[in-house]
Amino acid sequence: MPHPLESPVDALAAAIDPEVVAGWLEHQRWYATKSRHVTGVEVEQSIALAAAPPLLLALAQARFATGSHDLYQLPLALLPDGVQADRPPVVTGPDWVAVDAVAEPDLMRELLRHIDAESAFETPEGWMRFQRPELSGALAIDAPARPMGVEQSNSSIVFGDETVLKVFRRLEPGINPELEMLRFLTRREFANIAPLQGWYEYDGRAFSATLGVAQRFFGDAVGGWELAIERIRTDPAAFVIELGGLGTVTAELHNALASDPSDPAFAPEEPSAEAMSLLTATIDEEVERVFIRLPDDERVAPIAGRGQDVRERVAQRSQLGVGGRAIRTHGDYHLGQTLHVPRGWLIIDFEGEPARPLYERRFKTSPLRDVAGMLRSFAYATSAVAIMHDHPAPGQFEDRARLTFLEHYFSTIDPALLPSGETAIVNLLSIYELEKAIYELQYELDNRPDWLPIPVAGIARLLEAE
């Protein structure tokens, strides 16, 4: 039965009540600025991707009282009134409802179909393009579809056991690092990622943005964080050995990312003294802001009143300079950004830290920043088994995990990417670990006071280390 609307795009635009859509937007898990009230919503672009039922891809500005705004991608499916949907409607018309199409995963098949066909749609302001890498095979567009599950910042649909389509919700102008990194690594046949199978993007006069990526799905994969929590309790010695493999794969990733001096976006560069000065200044500011908030609590006693000690330690360690090379890195590296499959480790989610602007996520830096993030993740996993399961990790587990990971990493990484000499490496690595631990301290103060001992122990460790 054909849909009764002749122009679903026009009907949707006419039916949008900014207050209704704003209220719906604020209650989504992927809404990025939960402390800010949306005062209005304006659809910038709407593209009809399917006719029955109509599937619309809306790019909508969420506006705030300050005059600023954020851009969101809203895939909307128009269903006849009375059709049962899994989620409440976003917009209601006279005889239809518009629902978030991600909640109806079969309707999202059209996005995959257009990627497979490499479609292009002209809009009044630009183009919507769907693309695949060279020599990639056809996509499983008819495979059963299901949502991947709860995600914080994006939405993903799995098609069979072959493809996962990630829909970016909050958009920023420019290429998303996820697409940029996957395209680079897939072209070089880097074995330890979920290869890129396609993507779609908007290219307009006012702005251009990556809208989503399709990757190979691994149905036999276990999340790295979940694996750690289980194996630390059941077989910690074997898991330490597995972490050696992760160290090797991490180094191979960095070597690959530094392998093309002809590509300006990826060519290794000499690190600047200004970058180190900016890093230490940022840490100084964060220390001053966080340490003044420390409660009179035994959980923070090991570092209470030691903010100046932290600043002095960072200043001392930064005296040796940076050295090595600045390269593209993962940017938000921890166990939760890994998968484990029977053949070893995969590295996923190359978007970088969501709280940072997109252009900052593309900055080059020392590969040791990724290493520091993973070492801090070992600290969290070690403590989490006790907090979450009342099952303390075996003694010295974190130390053994760090040692094994680092041994394998340093035996594989191109030495030219690192500072010269063990002392310089240790100093730079510890600065990045302090940066991460101070961020964690601020987060736990705001969100999980019971987890405060984890960053506190990390900061104390780095203060006492020679």
Structural domain that includes position 150: 109-216
Looking from the CA of 446 toward its CB, the CA atoms found within 13 Å total 8
Q: What is the CATH number of the domain that holds 122?
A: 3.30.200
The helix/strand/coil state of 26 is helix
Residue 271: cis peptide before it, omega within 30 degrees of 0 = no
Which residue, 198, 216, 234, sits at the end of a domain? 216
Backbone angles phi, psi at 93, to 5 degrees: -105, -170
Which residue ranges of the chain lie beneath pLDDT 70?
1-16, 51, 82-87, 150-151, 321, 466
187 and 70 fall within a common domain: no
pLDDT at 151: 64
Q: Count structural domains, the chain.
A: 3
Which CATH number characterizes residue 231's domain? 3.90.1200.10
Residue 20: C-alpha distances to residues 24, 27, 381 (Å): 6, 11, 41
At 247-304, the pLDDT tens digits run 999 999 999 999 999 999 999 999 887 888 888 898 999 999 999 989 988 999 999 9
Three-point CA angle 352, 437, 428, nearest 5° = 80
**CA angle at 119 for the pair 118 and 124, rounded to the nearest 5°:** 145
Q: Are residues 366 and 250 part of one domain?
A: yes
- Verify that 322 and 397 share a domain, yes or no: yes
Same domain, 312 and 459: yes
pLDDT at site 2:
38
Q: Are residues 89 and 187 in the same domain?
A: no
Q: Are residues 447 and 364 in the same domain?
A: yes
CB 324 within 8 A of CB 172: no
Residues 120 and 212 in one domain: yes
Alpha-carbon distance of 209 to 202, in angstroms, equals 5
Q: Is there a single domain that holds both residue 238 and residue 201?
A: no
User: Quick check: is 73 in a domain?
Assistant: yes
| Boundary (domain end) residue, out of 48, 63, 94 | 94
Taking a C-beta distance cutoff of 8 angstroms, is the pair 61, 209 a contact?
no
The dihedral region occupied by 10, where left means phi > 0, alpha psi between -120 and 50, and beta the remainder, is alpha
Cα separation, 402 vs 398, in Å, equals 6
* pTM confidence score: 0.92
Is 104 part of any domain? no
Mark whether 149 and 73 lie in a shared domain.
no
Same domain for 303 and 260, yes or no, is yes
Q: Tell me if 2 is assigned to some domain.
A: no
pLDDT at 3: 40
Residue 409 and residue 327 share a domain: yes
| pLDDT value for 21 | 86
DSSP 227-285: HHHHHHHH-HHHHHHHHHHHHHHHHHHHHHHT--TT-TTT--BPPPHHHHHHHHHHHHH
For residue 216, give the 3-state DSSP assignment: strand
With a CB cutoff of 8 Å and minimum separation 6, the contacts of 109 are 141, 142, 145, 159
